[in-house]
Structure 1
């Protein structure tokens, strides 16, 4: 049984219910429910729970029997720790994307605080990004293990993340500009950013989280591969996923660079 646990492909862990070792503490899907109102958001934050996931990550060893834990090698334990880190940091990231949507985008739309085109400019394809991270294992990691760069899924991931991240410079500039001349928007920002769910982060700090997260995948996957059996097929799949994520990161970096250069050129031409 222990051998079966360790050799399970880590990306299948969220869907395996019979294993004694929960590689995915978050369950079958790493979802964070999106409150529909400011009052609901505040109430949910007061209750703690999954909103505290990044501050109090679950210790996977506490869910494993002493017998199973004693049978694991130091390398296997380290591997589980990195897998645990992948899932919990992903859940924390998804939570922050939901905050971006619920605390900012939805309220801006509902209260017509900004023109629809400005809201779209700031948040671009946020819904698509949330969907991508809602089940990152099947939407990102598994396609990457196939390493088929011509496949539609791979191209969709590159396009989605590249679009969101490359939009960041102009989105931040628009926010800055609006705060200077739109008192209603400024008051909204003060109220929204004081929400406990933002955890003292401003909108300009939250928008870049997607770019920051994309840089983490290759590092985490490389670490998982490092502590996976040298001759195992799973190690090769994890290494493929890491390489694929590096290519996605390179694509995103290039898209961001081009967007920044375009923005500088636009300013200089004024």
Structure 2
């Protein structure tokens, strides 16, 4: 039953042979087309619910404008109707991806004022780019067509704070802190708030991890993708770009 469900889902992806060849043989040679991208996926030609010609810059602008509406309490709550639900059930074409922290106070669709089928979201404590997160975001850009990836860190992040303090934690929590520690080290000589500096350094570090992906780097070179960083202010709801 699960395999039948997955094959039905894959049949909706808008990934043609022509678009793959246009992307380039180099990407195919790196093993991008794994078992999940079957021949039936390559043949699929379903019309996507979002226009294909949106640029990375336009996608980023859409994210920032949505956040501005959220900050000013002028949310439009787009694409949250029953008709939109039915529309995207046939296939998805998110215009942007978000790698965000699992923190319950930073829900991507709300703070960017987006709706069903608009965002491809990966969330993990500390917004770290694990292999699984990178693979998911490769899929979101190469297969689903997201034009921008924003890594969103946030004010007073508990995972980053724990990494700064060298907290002794049980279970697998320590793996998150280990991934954040290099950013703590790289930012410790900076002036200003230590936690904020480390949070922003962590965002930049995860961006570099994403850019090291052969799949994502090829899309960037082809001007089909942009990867940026954002920092969420818990008190105001505003997301500022990190560079």
Structure of higher CA gyration radius: 1
With normalisation by structure 2, the TM-score equals 0.28
Which one scores higher on RCO, CA 8 angstroms, separation ≥ 6? 1
With normalisation by structure 1, the TM-score equals 0.26
More helix by share: 1
